[in-house]
Amino acid sequence: MASNPSLVSVETAGGKFQQTVRVGSHVFSADEPESFGGSDSGPSPYDLLLAALGTCTSMTMKMYADRKGIPLESVYIVLEHSREHVEDCKSCNNEDNRIDVIDRSITLEGNLTEEQRHKLLEIAAKCPVHRTLENRIDIHTLEVRG
């Protein structure tokens, strides 16, 4: 079977939470940290979500800079996920008015003008994963019986 990089499979592995993740020809473990009862043998699900956003952001910024001849040497991104209580949250889809928040700090290296920096930060918000996370997402689940 030919590998499809957009097809991800996840299968239970050892330990309480450990999973084997396959993405195309790549295989790695996912787990929860010991503080949550896991064995910390790989990134957690939220770590993977943040990694997806961070890598997509950096790739999109670098691709834009290369195409526009902007002297961007490197991008360093730190991401953190949290939940915040919001009073009078009209868009919250839960009863306790909590929203998920991702804080993303971006460091740009290179001999960049203020205008180039501003444009690159605008481009960060246009990466495909960023757009996906800001959209309404419908997840369709189908049980497959073997």
Same domain, 49 and 78: yes
Please report, in tens digits, the pLDDT of each residue of the chain (146 residues total). Answer: 444 557 999 999 988 999 999 998 999 999 999 999 999 999 999 999 999 999 999 999 999 999 999 999 999 999 999 988 766 555 555 566 678 899 999 999 999 999 999 999 999 999 999 999 999 889 999 999 98
Q: Round to whole Å and give the CA distance between 55 and 76.
A: 10
**Which uninterrupted H or E stretch holds 49?**
helix 45-68
Q: Count up the domains in the chain and report the number.
A: 2
Judge whether 145 lies within some domain: no
CA distance between the termini of the chain: 18
Same domain, 37 and 50: no
pLDDT of residue 91: 57
Q: What amino acid occupies position 26?
A: H
